[in-house]
Amino acid sequence: MKIAIKILVIAVISFWGFNSAFAGGGTRNGTGGATELLIPVGASSIALAGANISTVYGIDALYWNPAGVAHMTNSATALFSHMNYIADIGVEYGAVSANFSDFGIVSLSIKSLNVGSIDITTNEQPDGTGQTYTPQFLVAGATYSRELTDRIAIGLTANFISETIDQVSATGVAFNAGLQYLDLADISGLSFGLVVKNIGPQMSFSGPGLLVQASPSGSTSDPSQPFSRPPSYYSVNAASFDLPSSFELGFGYTPQLDESNLVHISADYQNNNFSGDVYNVGAEYGYNKTFFVRAGYSLSPKNQDPNYIYGISAGAGIAYNLGTIDLHVDYAYRATKYFNGNHIFSIALGF
């Protein structure tokens, strides 16, 4: 009980600290970078609108709350996920986790965006030069998770970020840290989650695409004239940009039903430094630990973020034991404004 009180005190202090630091984030929409960090992965949690940071466990927790990975029951797990994102963008994701007994769980993950080819245009050829380029956005992560007690788990993720757009590129690093507390205040089924995401230094673009040809002021390229100097290449220094950091606080409850029926109810508050606050709720029903249906709702009040495009989400999944392998197959659909909805497919294998 004393530990629970300490955890809640830390959570409240962290909440007010980050809430003050991120105040007014909604007034800075579109001014941050590395937004691929914000693209969620994993069908089961997306179906719950990401409200389950306090109840998510195993390899599914890598993106949402790295502390939840510590509750993995298999010796090793692999996860593969595909999302049909907005504007015909494909999001591919893969992850592996290995349980090293008393040391903890180590996980590796990689997320990439498939944007497709884009025509190269110039001032002289606005309709295209006949050439194309393919932007590349990649996030590769390494995670360490550990159970401190049978109720408390922590996790830390380091993400390497790489962005390449034609002849310019940027790299950076971002850190996520999370905590989960099960059976909070000795209430069976009540859980608490806390996670801080995308904390790291600024990033900036560089590369040959930022070279421009120009002549110094007052000079001429005519060699017969004084102060003649041929045009030279100069590098444009791109402005640095901040990462889209966030702080999330969530609670979940699993009521005691029977061995065949399982229900999870969860809620989450997300405070962002570049957009308005987000409130998420989700519910999951599982039958015989084999078949699952899920639904969630995500809301950002219009006075905080009038351009928020998400809302209802839903999905289903099955779990089946193949002898030495645990198979999980999940699907989720997330409705969006202005674009076609997102379809997400995931498959996980536990060994």
In this prediction, residue 199 carries a pLDDT of: 96
CATH number for position 153: 2.40.160.60
197-206 core/surface letters (b: 16 or more CB in 10 A; e: else):
bbbbeebebe
In contact, 216 and 178? CB cutoff 8 Å: no
Q: Say how far apart CA 191 and CA 312 lie, in whole Å.
A: 24
Residue 203 inside a domain? The answer is yes
Residue 110 has which token pair? Answer: 């990689």
In contact, 243 and 174? CB cutoff 8 Å: yes
In this prediction, residue 120 carries a pLDDT of: 87
The β-bridge partners of 84 are 90, 343
Residue 218 inside a domain? The answer is no
Residue 170 inside a domain? The answer is yes
Q: Which amino acid is at 260?
A: S
Instruction: Find where tokens 């195993």 sit.
Output: 58
Q: Which residues contact 9 (CB under 8 A, 6 or more apart)?
A: none
Say what the pTM is.
0.89
Q: Which range of residues forms the domain containing residue 100?
A: 2-210+242-350
In this prediction, residue 307 carries a pLDDT of: 82
In this prediction, residue 124 carries a pLDDT of: 84
Could you tell me where the DSSP H helices lie in 88-143?
A: none
In this prediction, residue 343 carries a pLDDT of: 97
In contact, 130 and 172? CB cutoff 8 Å: no
Q: Spell out, as residue ranges, where the chain has pLDDT lower than 70.
A: 1-31, 215-229
Q: Say how far apart CA 304 and CA 25 lie, in whole Å.
A: 9
Residue 219 inside a domain? The answer is no
In this prediction, residue 15 carries a pLDDT of: 53
Residue 66 inside a domain? The answer is yes
Task: Name the burial class of residue 48, with classes exposed (0-12), middle (13-18) and buried (19+) by CB atoms within 10 angstroms of its CB.
Answer: buried
Residue 324 inside a domain? The answer is yes
In contact, 66 and 156? CB cutoff 8 Å: yes
Taking the alpha carbons of 184, 187, 188, 191 in that order, is the dihedral positive or negative?
Answer: negative
Phi, psi for 47 (deg, rounded to 5): -60, -30
For residue 138, give Cα distances in angstroms to 93, 306, 336: 10, 29, 24
pLDDT in tens, 121-178: 888 888 888 899 999 999 999 999 999 999 999 999 999 999 999 899 999 999 999 9
Residue 258 inside a domain? The answer is yes
Q: Are strands 152-165 and 118-119 parallel, antiparallel or unpaired?
A: unpaired
- Total tally of structural domains belonging to the chain: 1
